[in-house]
Structure 1
C-alpha cells in the first residue's frame, strides 16, 4: 500500500468508529476485507487510527471537521506534513483537498481541544490532578511505551535483555520496576521471539508491575479481578501461592497456558472455590475502571466514557471491595488498584470504604503518573485489624 492508500484506509476505519463501531472491531473488519495489506501496512494503518483517536478534537479542529477525512487532514497538519502531498487521488489515495479543506483553520484556544478530552471530563481531570491535569492530558496524546515483565524464575533482567537483543529486539531497563524492560526497537517481533515462547518475558506495563511488586507480604495471594491474569503471573513469579478469580471466567481462558509457559502454578477459583480456600493473606482487586490511565493504549475509551458510565463504575468498585473484604484473613491485606487517574475511582473509593467498614485502616495510597516509562495507576493497601 502507498502512504496515501494507508491514509485512505484510516479514514474509512475512523468513519466506522464514528458510526458506532468499537476501534478494535473496525480495525479487524478492515483487515478482513483487505487481505492485500501486509503486516507493515496493517501496522501503519493502526498507528494512524490510534494517533487520530488520541488527538481527535485538536486534529478535527486543524482539519476543519469531525469526519475521518477532516481528522486525518488535521492530524497530518499537526505533525508538520502538508496533507495535499498525500491527498492526491492516485493509487487509492484520498481525493485531493477541496478549496475549503485547503484553508488552514485558525488555532482554537479551547481547553477541551488543547487537552483532547470531552468537555464534561475537564473538571474531573482538574479536580483529580490539580496542577498536573494539563500535563496528564497532554501525555495521553502520545503513544505508550512497549514494556515487558521479566520472569525472574527463569532469567535475570540482563539475561532477558541479551536474549532479546540477539533477535533484534532492543530494550532498556525501566526504572519503575526491577522486572521491567522498555522495548526501544523491534516491538512487533516480541511475540515471535524465543524469550517469549520460553516464558522468560510477558508484555505488561511497568506501573502495573510496580503495583504487584509493592504488594504487602503474604504467602497466599488472590488476584480477585484477574482478567487475563497478568498480575497473577507476576505474583506467582514472586514465589507466592497464587489463586485467580474473575466474575467472567472466560477472561482467564489463556491463563493456564501462560502459567505453564512461565513455569508458574496458579489455581483458578470459581465462587465455590473462593469459599473453600479463604481466608487469604493478600487479596488484590484490580477493579474495572475508566482506564483513563491507559488511554494512550485504548484512546477510544475517552470518547465513549460518559458521566453515567463513570457512576456505574464507581458503584461496581464499591461492590467489589465490599465483597472481597470477606476473603481476607485477620491481619491480612485488601489491595485496591485501578489504571485510572480520576479521584472518583481512586481516593474517593478508599475513603468510602473506610467510612463504611470498621476494623480496617489504610497503610498506603500511591499514584503512578502517566509518563514515558508507564501508564497511570493507583493502588491502596487496606489492612484488616487483628481482633
Structure 2
C-alpha cells in the first residue's frame, strides 16, 4: 500500500470503530478479515494508527475543535499525524493526495489547521484536567480521589501501549525453560518484575505460531492477572471455584499452582466463554478443571455446594478501567448508568459466591478496575454485612517471598496500576471465612436461591 492508501484505510477503520458498539478489537478483526490482501506491515501501521487515535481521542478532539475541524475520524487522523507522528506540513498533502486509494485532498480549512498544529504538543496548558490526562471526565474525579498527585503519572501510563506478558505454565516448564525456548525461536523476553512465573516480551510481536505457545509452555497473561491468581493461593488437592471464569486465564494459572491436583470448578453464565477454555486446557496439559454454566449468580447449583470449597475466586465483571491501555475505546463508552449497574451486580455476585467457602477457606474478590466504588467500596460493603462470618486478610502476608515488599503495597489489599507497577490496573481483596452462616441467614439464602 502507498502511504496515502494506509492513511485512507486508517480513516475508514477508525470511523467504523467509532460508530460501532462492539469492542474495537472485534471490529478491527472483522475489518481485517474482509481485506486479506492487506500485507502484514500495512496492517500493523493501520491498526496502530487507529489504536493511537483511540488512546488519544479526547486530546485529539480538543485540538480538532481548537483549529476548526469537525469531530470526525478524518479530523482525528489529521491531528494524530501532526501531533503523534509529527508529520510536517509539507508531508501532509502527499498523504491526502486524492488518488484512487488515498483520501481526498486537504480542504482549505484542513490546510490551515495543519499549519496551526505544526510544532504543537498534545498536552498543553489551558486544557481541562480530564483532557490533559486523556481520561473521560466521568473517571477523572474518581481517580483523583484515589490517586491524588499520582494521577498525572497514571494518565500518561494509561496512554502508553501495554506490553505483552506471558505466564510460564509450571505444569510443563519453568520460566527459564520457556525463555530459552522463545529465544531459540527468535523471541526475546525478560522476567517480569514481580510475578515469579511471568515473562515480558522485548517488543510486541505475535507468539501464537511459536512452539512455546503451541506446546502449552506459556500463555499470554498480564502480570497483574498472574498476581491475582497467586493471591488465591490455591494448593495441590484444594477444592477451588472460579466463579466468573470466562475463557479461563486465571483458572489455568491456578491449575498450575495446584500442580494439576485437586479440583477447580470453572463457573460462568456464558457457555461460549467456557467452551473456549477447552483448547487452552488441552494445550496446557490441565486435567483438574471442570466447567459448568450457571443461569445467573444465584443459580441453585451454588446453594447445593455451599461451604464446599477451600478457595473461591470472584473475578467480577467490571468497567475494565484498569485495561484501558489495551482497550482504549472502552473508556469513551463509560457511563454513570454502567457503573451503577456493575457495582450492584458485583455485590450480588460476591454475596452469592461467598456461600461456597468452607470455614477456614478463602474468597478473593478481584476486578480489573481502578475505580474505588468497584473495589474498596465493595469490600467494605461485604464486611459490613458479613463481618461475623469473614475477616479481611492481608495480601502482604499471603503473597510468596518478598513479593509484597517489592510491590510496595500500602494496605492489606492487592492494588496494582500501570504507573506504579507496569501492569494493567487490578484490585483484589481476600477474605477468610471464620464462621458458618447463622441458621436464619442460611435459610434465607436457600429461599432466595430457589
After the TM superposition, which of the residue ranges 98-107 and 298-307 deviates more from structure 2? 98-107
Determine the structure 1 residue equivalent to 2:223. 206
Give the Cα–Cα distance (whole angstroms) in 2 for the partners of residues 33 and 334 of structure 1. Answer: 45
Give the Cα–Cα distance (whole angstroms) in 2 for the partners of residues 196 and 100 of structure 1. Answer: 51
Determine the structure 2 residue equivalent to 1:73. 78
Give the superposition deviation at 1:374: 1.6
Determine the structure 2 residue equivalent to 1:359. 389
**Bigger radius of gyration among the two:** 2
Tell me, yes or no, if the aligned pair for 2:270 and 2:293 is still in contact at 8 Å.
no
Unpaired runs of at least 5, structure 1: none
Structure 1 residue 246 and structure 2 residue 264: aligned? no
How many residues are treated as equivalent by the alignment? 386
Unpaired runs of at least 5, structure 2: 295-299, 395-412, 437-450
Give the superposition deviation at 1:285: 0.4
Shift in alpha-carbon separation, 1:359–1:172, aligned structure 2, 3 A = same
Structure 1 residue 302 and structure 2 residue 331: aligned? yes
Give the Cα–Cα distance (whole angstroms) in 1 for the partners of residues 304 and 205 of structure 2. Answer: 42
Give the Cα–Cα distance (whole angstroms) in 2 for the partners of residues 34 and 275 of structure 1. Answer: 50
Determine the structure 2 residue equivalent to 1:118. 136
Tell me, yes or no, if the aligned pair for 2:234 and 2:257 is still in contact at 8 Å.
no
1:347 corresponds, among 373, 376, 381, to 376
Determine the structure 1 residue equivalent to 2:404. none
Determine the structure 1 residue equivalent to 2:318. 289
Structure 1 residue 31 and structure 2 residue 24: aligned? no
Structure 1 residue 384 and structure 2 residue 433: aligned? yes
Give deviations 1:211-260, integer Å, cap 9, x for gaps: 11122455221111000100000000011532211011221112122112
Determine the structure 2 residue equivalent to 1:4. 4
Pairing 1:203-282 to 2, within 5 Å after superposition: 203-218=220-235, 219-239=238-258, 241=262, 242-265=264-287, 266-271=289-294, 274=302, 278=306, 279-282=308-311
Give the Cα–Cα distance (whole angstroms) in 2 for the partners of residues 249 and 146 of structure 1. Answer: 28
Give the Cα–Cα distance (whole angstroms) in 2 for the partners of residues 315 and 186 of structure 1. Answer: 37
Structure 1 residue 369 and structure 2 residue 417: aligned? yes
Determine the structure 1 residue equivalent to 2:61. 60
Shift in alpha-carbon separation, 1:142–1:186, aligned structure 2, 3 A = closer
Pairing 1:317-332 to 2, within 5 Å after superposition: 317-332=346-361
Determine the structure 2 residue equivalent to 1:50. 51
Structure 1 residue 196 and structure 2 residue 202: aligned? no
Give the Cα–Cα distance (whole angstroms) in 1 for the partners of residues 4 and 193 of structure 2. Answer: 39
Give the Cα–Cα distance (whole angstroms) in 2 for the partners of residues 264 and 30 of structure 1. Answer: 34
2:148 corresponds, among 117, 126, 130, to 130
Give the superposition deviation at 1:281: 0.6
| TM-score, normalising length: structure 1 | 0.94
RMSD: 2.0
| TM-score, normalising length: structure 2 | 0.81
SS in 2 for 1:236: helix
After the TM superposition, which of the residue ranges 244-253 and 88-97 deviates more from structure 2? 88-97
Give the Cα–Cα distance (whole angstroms) in 1 for the partners of residues 279 and 305 of structure 2. Answer: 23
